[in-house]
Amino acid sequence: MIFTVAIDGPAAAGKGTISRAVAERFGFRHLDTGLLYRAVGVKGGDPVAAARGLTADDMNRPGLRTLEAGQAASRVAAIPEVRAALVEFQRRFARSEGGAVLDGRDIGTVICPEAEVKLYVTASAQVRAHRRWLEVGGDEAQVLAEVRERDARDMGRADAPLKAAEDAVVIDTSDLGIDAAVDAACAIVAARLRG
């Protein structure tokens, strides 16, 4: 069975947590596409060459979940040649046998516009910054500023800007707990699987 769940949204909205839970519940493979961009950003050197030569080992580097790696990912993701180098990898993963969940910023709009399920997971900038601050610490006001800066860059880039696909179901996690958000996503997937 080929069945793709595309989950997009801004940083710290909960899409990674939801994606992993959906994949686990339905026995699908999971790809955090942001890790691809984080690995390219952290690798250093020429980002296009880094994207073309990305290996599984690069995905397991320490420090890929830091704020700095996230900022680096956002910068390299704005480079069209980097995006092009990673698109085919993501598409092959998405349409492989057995079902797949991909989370990122342009899965439903660019990578897998044919996905059987498209979700857009979001939350207010303040809620997302607070969540990120709980993870990484530091100055909460600075984390909020970085979240807003990243949103502006991700939503404003010319190539594949962050936005909800026209046919995506929006899940706002601002006032939802993890279990409720996961249940909402799983209900949508289950309904689509039933046809």
- Any known ligand binding at 13? yes
The 10 Å CB-count burial string (b at 16+, else e) for 120-149 is bbbbebebbbbbbbeeeeeeeeebbebbee
Token pair 């807003």 in the structure block, residue = 148
- Any known ligand binding at 9? yes
Please tell me the distance from the alpha carbon of residue 138 to that of residue 50, in angstroms, as a whole number.
30
- Any known ligand binding at 15? yes
In the Cβ-directed half-sphere of 52, how many Cα atoms lie within 13 Å?
A: 8
| Beta carbons of 8 and 110 less than 8 angstroms apart | no
Per the annotation, where are the binding residues?
9-17
Per the annotation, where are the binding residues for ATP?
9-17
